Chain A
Amino acid sequence: DIVMTQSPLSLPVTPGESASISCRSSQSLLYSNGNNYLDWYVQKAGQSPQLLIYLGSNRASGVPDRFSGSGSGTDFTLKVSRVEAEDVGVYYCMQALQTPATFGQGTKLEIK
């Protein structure tokens, strides 16, 4: 199975500042079609996960442009610019290249 490793696991951020989360995979997620099969989800307290970024860098419908995904192969980053209070939650990366899909451990973003 592909192992997904996120860092940091806890991320205190001052409102208005930027935050970055790293996600590394044990195997390349770059497929022959040029797509990186890496998604980002956020789970807010008491809610189900919601899709933020798909195929490494594509924002899902309705996601603010403060959220951006980058990276290729085995190293990916989620950046949240101008963090707001509503961004608090646990962020997960997930690889969708191989079965079973696997998630990172989750990164808890909190407001300082």
Chain B
Amino acid sequence: EVQLVESGGAVVRPGESLRLSCAASGFTFDDFGMGWVRQGPGKGLEWVSGINWNGVRTAYADSVKGRFTISRDNAKNSLYLQMNSLRAEDTALYFCASVREGTTGTSDYWGQGTLVTVSS
């Protein structure tokens, strides 16, 4: 059974940092790119970042570029999102998802999400 399990979400103050993790199982992790998609309270889906299968290529939404860093550890079947200089508008449920090609593409598998709240 395919599983993507996110963790690391928390309540933090503006300007603080947070690191999200996503543990994958049930599929060959390094056959896929991976990505993060977020959903603000009562809002739609917003693509945040993606990374290709070996971590060489990464991509970011303009809204997070320079503040967030995506990475992966294929030996641990894990995906990460380092989030610095957090803002109130980063408050969202963060999903990790598989990516068929490159850094941006069809997502067959999704986690259940981890909640990040940025509030003073």
Contact = CB atoms under 8 A, between A and B. Distances in A.
Tell me whether A and B are bound partners. yes
Contacts of A106: 44-45
Interface size class of B (residues with CB under 8 A): 20 to 34
Interface in B72-120: 95, 97, 100-101, 103-108, 110-113
B47 interface: yes
Interface string A87-112: 00010101010111111111000000
B44 A103 contact: yes
Which of A50, A94, A100 has the most chain B CB atoms closer than 10 A to its own CB?
A: A100
Contacts of A90: 44
Main secondary structure of the interface of B (DSSP, over half): loop
Given A49-B95, A106-B45, A100 B104 contact: yes
Nearest to A47: B112
B23 interface: no
Contacts of A32: none
Interface residues of A, number: 27
Given A96-B104, A99-B103, A100-B62, A50 B47 contact: no
B44 A105 contact: yes
Main secondary structure of the interface of A (DSSP, over half): loop
A49 B59 contact: no
A47 B93 CA distance: 11
A71 B105 CA distance: 18
Contacts of B113: 48
Interface in A50-76: 50-51, 54-55, 60-61
B110 A50 contact: yes
Contact of B47 (A37, A43, A54, A101): A101
B115 to A, nearest CB: 13
20 contacts: A39-B106, A47-B112, A49-B45, A49-B95, A50-B110, A51-B107, A51-B108, A54-B100, A90-B44, A99-B50, A99-B104, A100-B47, A100-B59, A100-B60, A101-B50, A101-B104, A103-B47, A104-B44, A106-B44, A106-B45
Interface of B: 35, 37, 44-47, 50, 59-62, 95, 97, 100-101, 103-108, 110-113
